[in-house]
Amino acid sequence: MRVIYILWLRQIKRYFRSKSRIVGAVGQPLLFLLALGYGLGSVYKEAGQGNYLQFLVPGIMAQTVLFSSMFYGAMIIFDRQFGFLKETMVAPVGRLKIMLGGALGGATTSVMQGIIVFLISLLLGFRPYNWPMALFSLIFMSVLALAITSFSSGIGSFVQDMQGFQAINQFLVFPLYFLSGALYPLNHVPTWLRIIAEVNPISYTVDAMRWSMIGTSRFGIVHDCIALGITLVVLIVFGVMRFRHIEP
């Protein structure tokens, strides 16, 4: 436990020492909120769907957590380039602990980013429908964050450079995000798009976030939780397996 704690603490300390990272990782979601929230708000209303900002914010919070957590994998690539990875690889500690300690640290900082975006949304006029229920979103963000930091540790273990890592982001994570229900309702989309969304774990996270924040759910919270749970377990296993074979 002390090992997991100290590796977690390392990530937290590095996060608070890098102001640019805090600001940078909030910039993109803020742009989405402003451009989409205000840009599409009126169209959305005219289509009879209600308030778009209310709909959008849970999705943007998930986006924040998703991409900050992916960025954690880049930290592993930096650790390799700067040599620190060797120090952890020869340590007499199980690989699961090493992977989890760092991933938990990365996940914690991602959730903090999600909370910052939530606070900004409040300033923009977003209101959760029920405050105690909104606290559940912390759990969903945490599960997503740990699943994705585990996944990105796995990716960071076998991708040798930032270019390769960016490629995974561009060709896997961005599409999964845009094809989830984060930005638009899935009610009236073409069947193929709906099917993709229904096998996409991000959709279930976004759905769970909406359930806690605005009280609507497409798949039902039970399905969301099952999907999130499976995703978490699969991605942790993936992360550890890849991490075992890492060569610094």
Partner 1 sequence: MIKVEHLTKKFGDFIAVNDISFNVQAGEMFALLGPNGAGKSTTIKMLTTLLKPTSGSLTLNGFDVVKQQDQTRKSFGIVFQDPSVDTDLTAYENMQLHAVMYGVPKSEIDTRIEELLKLVELWDRRDSLVKTYSGGMKRRLEIARGLLHHPKVLFLDEPTLGLDAQTRNLLWNYVGNLAHEKEMTILFTTHYLEEAEANSNQIAIIDHGKLLTIGTAQDLMKQTKTKSLEEAYLSLTGKELRDEKADPHEVWRQRQRARNMR
Using CB under 8 A as the criterion, which residues of the chain lie in contact with partner 1 when the complex forms?
2-3, 5-7, 10, 13-14, 17-18, 79, 82-94, 247-248
Question: Least distance (Å) from partner 1 to the CB of residue 79?
Answer: 8
Nearer to partner 1, 1 or 222 (CB): 1
Structure tokens at 152: 């990105």
Structure tokens at 229: 């749970």
Nearer to partner 1, 18 or 42 (CB): 18
For tokens 């940078």, name the residue.
Answer: 24
Nearer to partner 1, 46 or 247 (CB): 247
Question: Least distance (Å) from partner 1 to the CB of residue 2?
Answer: 5
Question: Least distance (Å) from partner 1 to the CB of residue 247?
Answer: 7
For tokens 């990530």, name the residue.
Answer: 11
Question: Least distance (Å) from partner 1 to the CB of residue 85?
Answer: 8
Nearer to partner 1, 16 or 171 (CB): 16
Nearer to partner 1, 2 or 192 (CB): 2
Question: Least distance (Å) from partner 1 to the CB of residue 84?
Answer: 5
What's the rounded Cα separation, in Å, for the pair 134 and 152? 27
Which of 143, 155, 110 is closest to 15 using CA atoms? 110
What's the rounded Cα separation, in Å, for the pair 207 and 140? 10
Residue 109 near residue 145, CB atoms below 8 Å = no
What's the rounded Cα separation, in Å, for the pair 174 and 159? 18
DSSP secondary structure letter of residue 173? I
What type of residue is 33? L
